Chain A
Amino acid sequence: MKDLAYREEARARHKESFLAPIIKANPLFVMLLGTCPALAVTKSLEAAIGMGILFTFVLTCSNVLVSSLRKIIPSEVTTPSYIVIIATFVTLVKLLTNAFMPELYATLGVFLSLLVVNCIVLGRSEAFASKNTIFDSFLDGIGNGIGFTWAISLMAIIREILGTGMMTFGKIFTFIPLIKLPILKMVDASNEIIYDYSISLFQTPVGAFLVFGAILAVIAAIGNLKAKKAKYKQKEGNK
């Protein structure tokens, strides 16, 4: 009986570790962490997806390693140890990306190196992986990675469509054919513009802040609406 309760508890904990960071405790939109790469690499969807995948890899690997060494690392050197571990994974990712996906490496530029000091990666190591099991830390890494990836992808979709008027695929991920989907901008075969409703401001850092602010405002509005509904229901119940 006790064993069954423990299993149930563990299952709920695993589920929470994985699902919470995707929506309820999204690192970017709810915790407001990792905003630097989110503003910098969301000019195109491909760059955002690339950053999201590399971020997920670094976060998951560092979480797993920190969790597996949590009983060995003395409390006096936790932060230096975590930084060395994270920096190692970031360096590996940099070398591999430079070798096998040079276009992605060039696009992400310095923001790939800056993953070493990314507050989500360092924060999850300190706050979660150093106190939880390897499996929970793995799930937490994957969950936060997915949460961060979809969040920056959403920003990138909005910025790319509004800023360039089209969605481009195959420019960074060169293993897929180059496809340009015209949405707000259309050009003919001789590159003459047929119509162009794009606003290039959205490709600039100002546009990144505007999009980020607008998304946060929508999330806050939904949160407020939910709270009001709950309050109203409570009042009705009291009557």
Chain B
Amino acid sequence: MKENVKIYLRAAIVLSSIGAVSAGVIGAVNLITKDRIAQNEVNATNKALADIYENASFVEDSEFEKQEGVQMDNFKVNLLSRYEAKKEEELLGFVYKTSGKNSYGEIVMLVGINEQGIGRISFVSDTQTYGSTLEDEYLYKYNNNKRELDDVSCGATYGAKLVKDMAKAAENDYLSRKEGK
């Protein structure tokens, strides 16, 4: 009995020590890299914004309140922020930053919306296992052929449903604000 306790205690101490050292090392590296990662995310968002409305200037809507867990047809999605896109004082439209998850991973994307409806869509990040299929096939076809979101088919149906839900959540918010005004 005493021998058993000794064995378990030793195992617990060794495993806890390895865990503690690991946590310390990860914490230290996180401190070193977090600013740079945050800057990379800002750069990725700026790049995606420029992809939605070329040569436009963007102002983040400070009154926009983040909406989490908006239930759509297939998934719950988040509306993170909203930007106003202007070119020489002329309002081109709005850009919504949205995020959503399915069992294959998370997508953060920007959706351009104006009077004509949903415009270009651009990914900020995509951790889906078939991510590039979704971007190369679905988004490319949608953005370049100016089709309706429902008309585009690709080899990543589950991811495409998430993209549609995120875009439609943004459109719903845009329309409800428009009607409210």
Contact = CB atoms under 8 A, between A and B. Distances in A.
Interface of A: 40, 43, 69, 72-74, 76-77, 80-81, 84-85, 87-88, 91-92, 95-96, 98-100, 102, 106-107, 109-111, 204-205
Given A98-B37, A110-B105, A88 B25 contact: yes
Given A84-B15, A85-B18, A110-B129, 6 more contacts: A88-B22, A95-B37, A98-B33, A100-B36, A102-B43, A109-B127
Interface of B: 7-8, 10-11, 14-15, 18-19, 22, 25-26, 29-30, 32-33, 36-37, 40, 43-44, 105, 125-133, 155
A109 B15 CA distance: 29
B10 A204 contact: no
Contacts of B7: 74, 76
A72 B30 CA distance: 28
A88 B133 contact: no
A96 B15 contact: no
B126 A95 contact: no
Contacts of A100: 33, 36
Contacts of B8: 76
Contacts of B125: 106
Given A43-B132, A80-B15, A109-B127, A99 B22 contact: no
Given A72-B14, A99-B40, A109-B105, A85 B29 contact: no
B159 to A, nearest CB: 12
